[in-house]
Amino acid sequence: MNRIVTGLDILLADPERYLHGQSIGLAVNQTSVAGDHRHSIAHFKTHRWFKLKKIFAPEHGLYGIDQDMVKVNDNHDPCSGLNVLSLYGDVAESLSPNPEQLADIDNLVFDIQDVGSRYYTFIYTLANCMEVCREAGVRMIVCDRPNPINGIAMEGNLVGENWRSFVGQYPIANRHGMTVGELAKMFNTTFGIACDLTVVPMRGWKRSMWHDQTGIPWIPTSPNMPTLETATVYPGMCLIEGTKLSEGRGTTLPFELVGAPFIDAHALAGQLKKEKLPGVIFRPQYFKPMFHKWQRESCGGVQLHVTDRNQFKPLLTGIAVIRVIQQLYPQQFAWRTEPYEFVKDRLAIDILYGNSDLRENFLKNGATLETIENSWNEELEEFRKLRQEFLMY
């Protein structure tokens, strides 16, 4: 297997081609690792020409140890000796750097592995950094990395204007099939950020590749994204966060498990089998989350086993799981009502889906999965045409 050369390695090989001035800031986390397995901070702290002055970290922190929606505090990085400035606090304003924090740098380098679904907040941390770079007159450098669940498959509707949030800041498809670099170019042009943007491309990546075909080791991107298998199911199973069901947080199989104490695991698996969803089987499973929803309570549910990842439809599958559980347990099933990702006035499920149609129309009125999937067609085709301009590979 030939190892893909990431944008970070391309940058490190010829930094003067992409950077200007003499000082840099890094927006990175634990995934910002070069081909020699050394972190980007280790490379830049001793660079001959460019001085590392600032480090910014996204949700989950520099080392990816904080749980979801948990405030990340500024802290100290022992590798560089610098303070790490958090881009995920406890208020919406904390999601962007202050222009003053960029005052003494010439370049802000973003190198963070994404997972290929629009809910994942790293791509909006990128967009917010781009906005502030424009204000501060700082060059934005994005080191491209693979879309781990391939760069071809797309699925889902776009986010409605009234449903924008930090898990859906722009009208992009649920499974967008783009790399971080491609998204940065789209954000900059289509969505009007207009910063001084440079994208450092990868070498050797093909759109059909899954992460385990790139030769790049998988580094868990967050505490509940431990494997490529997790990322594969995530575009659909993240919808479970909008319910009172457990999405498997607090177990070793987040997003691959779903359940609750009131569920009969065998009945649920049997009903889901009748849905005949492509590329996946559902195995009855009981589990006990050690934290998060239903902490230390025995939950009945299922584990998803993806049997053909190129046929598997994660979003449709996630919707089918919610639909079947709601049908089997109409009295016990409930939507999450607590504030979600800095939003207090709309339900989490609507924010995640991108509008309220799934909850208020399709599920309430018993729509078929085919009807729900067909409802995306027009918007998905619009997005397919839009993204074409920004594809780099």
Residue-by-residue pLDDT tens, the chain, 393 positions: 568 999 999 999 999 999 999 999 999 999 999 999 999 999 999 888 899 999 999 999 999 999 998 999 999 999 999 999 999 999 999 999 999 999 999 999 999 999 999 999 999 999 999 999 999 999 999 999 999 999 999 999 999 999 999 999 999 999 999 999 999 999 999 999 999 999 999 999 999 999 999 999 999 999 999 999 999 999 999 999 999 999 999 999 999 999 999 999 999 999 999 999 999 999 999 999 999 999 999 999 999 999 999 999 999 999 999 999 999 999 999 999 999 999 999 999 999 999 999 999 999 999 999 999 999 999 999 999 999 999 999
What is d(CA 98, CA 202) in angstroms, rounded to the nearest whole number?
30
pLDDT of residue 3: 84
Q: 20-76, pLDDT tens digit by residue?
A: 999 999 999 999 999 999 999 999 998 888 999 999 999 999 999 999 989 999 999
Q: What are phi and psi of 266, to 5 degrees?
A: -70, -40
Greatest Cα pair distance in the chain: 65
pLDDT of residue 47: 84
Domains 7-218 and 228-355 share a fold: no
Task: Please state the domain extents for the chain.
Answer: 7-218, 228-355
Residue 301's DSSP bridge partners are 259, 285
DSSP annotation string for 139-168: EEEEE----TT-SS--BS-PPPGGG-BTTB
Which CATH number describes the domain made up of 7-218?
Answer: 3.40.50.12170
Choose among 171, 152, 172, 175: nearest CA to 161.
171
Q: Is 211 helix (H, G, I), strand (E, B) or coil?
A: helix
Q: Is 259 helix (H, G, I), strand (E, B) or coil?
A: strand
Choose among 104, 181, 126: nearest CA to 393.
181
Lookup: tokens for 63:
């080392």
Q: Which residues have C-beta within 8 Å of that of residue 126, sequence separation ≥ 6?
A: 27, 110, 112, 142, 180, 183, 184, 187
- Burial track 158-180 (b if 16+ CB lie within 10 A, e otherwise): bbbeebbbbbbbbbbbbbbbbbb
Tell me the residue length of the chain.
Answer: 393
What is d(CA 259, CA 189) in angstroms, rounded to the nearest whole number?
42
Beta strands at 83-86 and 139-143: parallel, antiparallel or unpaired: unpaired
Choose among 163, 144, 156, 161: nearest CA to 117.
156
> What CATH topology corresponds to 228-355?
Aspartate Aminotransferase, domain 1 (3.90.1150)
Q: Is 154 helix (H, G, I), strand (E, B) or coil?
A: coil
pLDDT of residue 340: 94
